[in-house]
Amino acid sequence: MTSAVLVAVALLIASCGDDDQPSLPSAAVGATQSVSTTPAAVVATPEAIPSALRGDWHATLGPDDDVTLTLGDGSYRVQRGPATGNGRFAVHGEQLDFFGSNLCDGHGIYTWSIVGGELRFHLVGDDPCPRPDLLDNRVYTAGKARP
């Protein structure tokens, strides 16, 4: 590559960088410069919701005690008899973080797995909300509650 092309590539890369990072001043064109960068803090971001999780899941907790759990793109809804609750959730690998409930402040983390068409949850730590009664060690199958 010619030096003009190298300078153009260097300027293009510098202009696309992080705003907190220094760009090469025009006087530095053609000069060699070493810039020390500190990596930004790593933030765990939620993963895309697996398609296998999306939809309606049904569990029977006891006689005449059916629950339908609907999982969407980061939101959930629970229908238990006439009671309804909803909130948000995020996927982090084999864990779901439930939060933002209309019934409770706080969040709960659960591991999840789907084996043989059954969705299972296991509480990790504590959940200050009533979700453990509905989720912890429960088995959900695809579909809505029976009429």
Fold of 55-142: Lipocalin (2.40.128)
- Cα separation, 14 vs 124, whole angstroms: 44
> Residue 118 is which amino acid?
E
- Cα separation, 87 vs 100, whole angstroms: 5
Q: Sketch the domain layout of the chain as residue ranges.
A: 1-40, 55-142
Tell me the sheet residues that pair with 115.
118
Is the pLDDT reported for residue 47 higher than 60?
A: yes
| Residue partners of 40: CB distance under 8 A and separation at least 6 | 18
Percent above pLDDT 90 for the chain: 58
Residue with tokens 């509480």: 123
Prediction pTM value: 0.66
